Amino acid sequence: MSKSFLRTAISLLFVLVFGVAAHAQQTVTVPAELVSYPDLIVYNGKIVAMNDASLTDNIGRTVQAMAVRGDLIQFMGANDEVLKFAGPQTKKIDLKGRTVLPGFINTHSHMHDHSIQLWTKTHRDEVDKVVRRMSVTGKNFQDLTHGIEVALKENMSRPLPGQWAWIDLPSGGSSGTGIGIQYLLKGEMDRKKLDTLAPQTPVFLLSHPAMLLNTAARNAFLQLYEVPPTDENEKLALTQDTTLTRSLVVDQYFRQHLDVLADTLETGLKHEAAAGFTTFSSHIVGLRIHDAYLKLVRAGRMPIRFAYADRFCQQVEPDMTGCFARKGDIAGLGDKYFWSVGVTLGGLDAGPPQICTTMEAPKEYKDQERCVLEPGNAYDKAMEAALRSHLRFVVNHNYGDKTMDYVMDNLEGAMKEDPSMTLDYIRNLRATADHCGFYPRPAQIPRLKNLGMVISCDAMFLNRSAPWLKVYGLDKANRIAPVKSMLKAGIMTTAEAELSKVETGESETLHAQLVHLITRKNDLGESIAPEEAIDRKTLMKMSTVWASYYVMKEKEIGTLEPGKLADFVVLNKDYFTIPESEIGSVYPVMTVLGGKTVVAREEAAKDLGVQVIGPQVKWQFKTLFEAGGDM
Residue 324 burial (CB count, 10 A)? 24
> In sequence order, which ranges of 473-535 are alpha helices (DSSP H)?
483-489, 510-514, 516-519
pLDDT of residue 628: 45
Mean pLDDT confidence for 106-130: 95
pLDDT tens column, 475-507: 999 999 999 999 999 999 999 999 999 999 999
The residue-averaged pLDDT of 263-290 equals 97
Q: Which helix (H) or strand (E) holds 359?
A: none
Q: Whole-angstrom Cα distance, residue 3 to residue 7?
A: 6
Using CA atoms, how far residue 394 sits from 34, 336, 346, 487, 519, in Å, is 42, 20, 9, 20, 29
The residue with greater pLDDT, 11 or 327, is 327
Inter-residue contact 498 to 432 (CB < 8 Å): no
Q: What average pLDDT does this structure show over 433-458?
A: 98
At 242 the pLDDT is 86
What is the overall mean pLDDT for the chain? 92
- Best CA proximity match to 42, nearest among 560, 577, 547: 560
Average pLDDT over residues 1-8: 44
pLDDT above 90 (res 578): yes
Quick one: pLDDT at residue 35? Answer: 65
Look at residue 176 in the predicted model and tell me its pLDDT: 75
Instruction: Give the β-pairing of 493-496 and 588-593.
Output: unpaired
What pLDDT, on a 0 to 100 scale, did the predictor assign at position 17? 42
Residues 27-76 have pLDDT tens digits of 445 565 556 899 999 999 999 999 999 999 999 999 999 999 999 999 99
* Whole-number pLDDT of residue 178: 87
Question: Cα(437)–Cα(400) distance, rounded to whole angstroms?
Answer: 6
Instruction: Work out the pLDDT band at 99, boundaries 50, 70, 90.
Output: very high
Provide the pLDDT for residue 58.
97
**What is the homologous superfamily of the domain 255-561 according to CATH?**
Metal-dependent hydrolases (3.20.20.140)
d(CA 474, CA 466): 9
Q: pLDDT class for 152, splitting at 50, 70, 90?
A: very high
Judged against a pLDDT cut of 80, whether residue 175 lies above it is answered with no
Closest CA to 476 of 352, 628, 372: 352
pLDDT, tens digit (0-9, with 9 covering 90-100), for 585-630 = 999 999 999 999 999 999 999 999 999 999 999 999 999 876 544 4
At 493 the pLDDT is: 98
pLDDT for 15 beyond 50: no
Distance CA 392, CA 323 (A): 14
pTM for this one? 0.90
Q: Are 225 and 288 in contact (CB under 8 A)?
A: no
CA 29 to chain centre: 48
Q: How far apart are CA 129 and CA 119, in angstroms?
A: 14
Domain boundaries, the chain: 131-237, 255-561
Could you give the CA distance from residue 348 to residue 439 in angstroms, rounded to a whole number?
Answer: 13
What band does 342 get if pLDDT is binned at 50, 70 and 90?
very high
- pLDDT band per the 50, 70, 90 thresholds, residue 584: very high
Mean pLDDT for 278-290 is 95
Selected residue with higher pLDDT from 208 and 5? 208
For the chain, how many helices (H) and strands (E)? 26, 23
Sign of the C-alpha dihedral computed for residues 233, 237, 243 and 247 taken in this order: negative
Tell me the C-alpha to C-alpha distance, in Å, between residue 186 and each of 141, 182, 190, 210, 311: 10, 6, 9, 10, 30
Of 277-281, 363-367, 622-626, give the range with the top mean pLDDT: 277-281
Q: Return the percentage of the chain with pLDDT > 90, whole number.
A: 87
